Amino acid sequence: MASPSFLDTLHSCDICQKFVFGPPRTSEDEELWWAGPPGSRVRQWVAEVERQGAVLPLGLIVFDATIADVKSAAAVGCCLCKWFVEQRLLYDDSLQGLNDDSIFAAEIYSEYLGRFGEVWMCRNAVSRGDVVRMVDFCNPVFQLSTSIDEMTDPDSQSWWMNTLPNSEFSSRQISRWFDTCRTSHKKCHTNQTSFRPKRLIKIEQRQGRKVLRLCEKSPVSDVVDYAALSYCWGKNQNVKTTASTIERHILGISMTDLPLTIQHAVIVAETLGLCYLWVDALCIIQDNDDDKAWEIAQIPRIYMGASVTICASRAGEVQEGFLQQREATAPELAFRLPFRDKNGILSTVVLHNFIFPPLEPLSTRAWALQEKWLSTKTLDFGTTETSWTCKEVDVSDRPMQIRERRQPSQHLQDPEPHELLERASQEWQALVRTYTSRNLTISADRLPAISGIAEQFHHRMHVDDSMDYAAGLWGSTMLYDLLWYIMWEGPTHRPEQYQAPSWSWASTNSQVDFATQVTGLTATIISCNVELANKGTLDVDTRFGAVKSGQLEIRGVLRRAEVVRNRKWKGWYLLKLQVPQVSHGGTGLSVRWYPDTLDDAEPKIDATGERTYSLVLKLDEATGHFTRCGLIGPQFEPTPEELSWIRGGEVQTIVII
């Protein structure tokens, strides 16, 4: 690996140092710090722009260089300028009408992400106040990163990342994160849950040998600090607690018999000074349905009560482990440039091509979403970095740090009381969107695997009976929650085993999204009732888990229409509905049709009318009840006649199951 002075190995020259970056302006009143002294070429350009009445983009940075200057610098050996010129040649078609006198510039989207291009004034657009144009010619966009020397492991093989997550350097780093949080972070210990799971793995040292055993909680057991593991099972595990192995595990568990991911979790827990570890395969009796149901109901408390959750994100299955050496990678392009912060202080950043973060195996697992979301502190071992996230900080062990990192907490924020419901609804729908994109081994877990998050939403909002949770939807926002649809990947077949009523997104196994910017909802929820699958069988709250059935009584406009054309696109269909007094010359009413499942893809339409979106329902003649089979919305802006037809149907009260 390069030494801590690896920045000296990156290209930088006198020409490069003229390209000074900084954070984007937050308002038009802020000084144009990049404009230079009075009389400079950039100041003159800005004066002309202002004379024309233009408003400069907040993220714009104009350099004291023209494209001709950049070409000249490339010719004398500036690698960065040479890259610019090569990129520009790829965009000749979009640069027609421009010449080498165009001014070189960049546009920063945030403190770390942007694009290069050239700007000029478009004088024929003065009436719109938009006389500044920028053509970007660098693809992909660039990132800005800073060097953190204390993150640099001298034994690692990459200047860009720490390739040795199990080195002494890395062990000291994660211990420092953990200890700092325990001793200094007030937010992380406010409302901390005191909880001890029913079973834990105890880690002991006897005569220099590591000894593991399963401990069951007794009535007099103390609350202890423990780590919880979030990981991918993959194939069936060879070591797990069952009715036939529990007594043996209480006596002792061989470290070498454990899958590598669990072995590594034991090592990390010990490194952090923790003597207890919770792992579902060992702490739940896997062939006891009552024990599994009880423990699943305790999942929120287990992860919220853990001193830290160890996330084995890079391991696709339990046999892989997560502490092995990482494959060394680095950006294809990297240049050393100056950066001026808002206080005028200059530092050095590395400009490099955009790095797409890898999709970690654990991020594809549905159960893992709530395990991480519920945790107050996580230690995440990924493909390219190890990161620590708690309520106060979000850091990683990368020597190169992207200037802007994720939000420090995945918990609900604290909005004002008047906006609590709207914010909570938006966050819930965003979580469902992410959750339904992930994989479940057992599709019947569609509701249980998000039940812990649902319970926390319920408690956080201090909801009353008007906000009862019903199979993934909330009573107070039910009309909006009903407007879910299958995303562009398209529907799958309806599950053979019952998962939820048809009006719930949990009745499908596809990724869903929700209609947005919806106004003027005219339907009314009369009642909503669900029968819980485990009600009364256990002394736990199962309102947020699996259901046996559900009925939604709703009152709204009902319309019948004949489908005259059905054209399939990705995930949705373009339908032509033949409707009276609207379809002139056989053109029909154009709508987008999002079927819930492949079984619903040949629709006979009964639509409950609403301004722009309607549920598509199928009538069961025998029971008189309806089942949902999709959502429709307009392909184009509806005409007054079409809106009149949609709204003018008979108002009826129906039951959807």
323-326's contacts with Cβ under 8 Å and 24+ in sequence apart are: 323/165, 323/166, 323/264, 323/267, 323/268, 323/381, 324/165, 324/166, 325/163, 325/164, 325/165, 326/161, 326/162, 326/163, 326/164, 326/165, 326/383, 326/384
Identity at 513, one-letter amino acid code = D
Percentage of the chain lying above the pLDDT 70 cut? 76
Q: What is the extent of the structural domain holding 86?
A: 6-139
User: Per the domain annotation, does 482 fall within a domain?
Assistant: yes
Calculate the alpha carbon distances from 384 to 120, 177, 333, 401 in Å.
40, 18, 18, 12
Instruction: Kindly report the pTM of this predicted structure.
Output: 0.83
Mean pLDDT per block of 10 residues along the chain (657 residues) reads 59 87 86 87 86 82 87 91 79 59 81 69 42 56 73 69 90 95 87 83 87 84 90 88 95 94 97 96 93 87 94 96 90 86 84 82 94 94 93 84 50 53 85 94 91 86 67 90 84 86 94 81 88 70 86 87 59 59 54 71 47 75 89 69 72 91
Q: 488 with 387, same domain?
A: no
Partners of 229 in beta bridges: 310
Q: 574 with 600, same domain?
A: yes
Spell out where 209-331 has E strands: 209-216, 227-230, 276-278, 308-311
What pLDDT is recorded for position 408?
37
User: Per the domain annotation, does 159 fall within a domain?
Assistant: no
What pLDDT is recorded for position 94?
55
User: Per the domain annotation, does 579 fall within a domain?
Assistant: yes
Q: 176 with 243, same domain?
A: yes
Distance CA 296, CA 259 (A): 22
Q: Which of residues 119, 139, 159 is at a domain's end?
A: 139
Q: 387 with 456, same domain?
A: no
Q: Which of residues 375, 402, 429 is at a domain's end?
A: 402
The residue written with tokens 């009826």 in the block is 652
Q: Which of residues 376, 402, 428 is at a domain's end?
A: 402
Partners of 589 in beta bridges: 577
User: Per the domain annotation, does 338 fall within a domain?
Assistant: no
How many structural domains is the chain composed of? 3
SS3 574: strand
Q: 497 with 570, same domain?
A: yes
pLDDT digits 0-9 by tens, 257-290: 999 999 999 999 999 999 999 999 999 999 998 8
The residue written with tokens 């409950």 in the block is 608
User: Per the domain annotation, does 339 fall within a domain?
Assistant: no
User: Per the domain annotation, does 581 fall within a domain?
Assistant: yes
22, 175 contact by CB (below 8 A)? no
Q: What angle do CA 80, 86, 89 make, to 5 degrees?
A: 145
Q: 377 with 423, same domain?
A: no
What pLDDT is recorded for position 131?
46
User: Per the domain annotation, does 330 fall within a domain?
Assistant: no
User: Per the domain annotation, does 342 fall within a domain?
Assistant: no
Calculate the alpha carbon distances from 500 to 244, 494, 534, 601 in Å.
34, 11, 14, 20
Q: 379 with 480, same domain?
A: no
Q: 478 with 576, same domain?
A: yes
Q: 247 with 305, same domain?
A: yes
Closest listed residue to residue 503, CA positions, set 609, 618, 593, 591 = 618
Q: 440 with 376, same domain?
A: no
Q: 282 with 315, same domain?
A: yes
Q: 96 with 174, same domain?
A: no
What pLDDT is recorded for position 277?
98
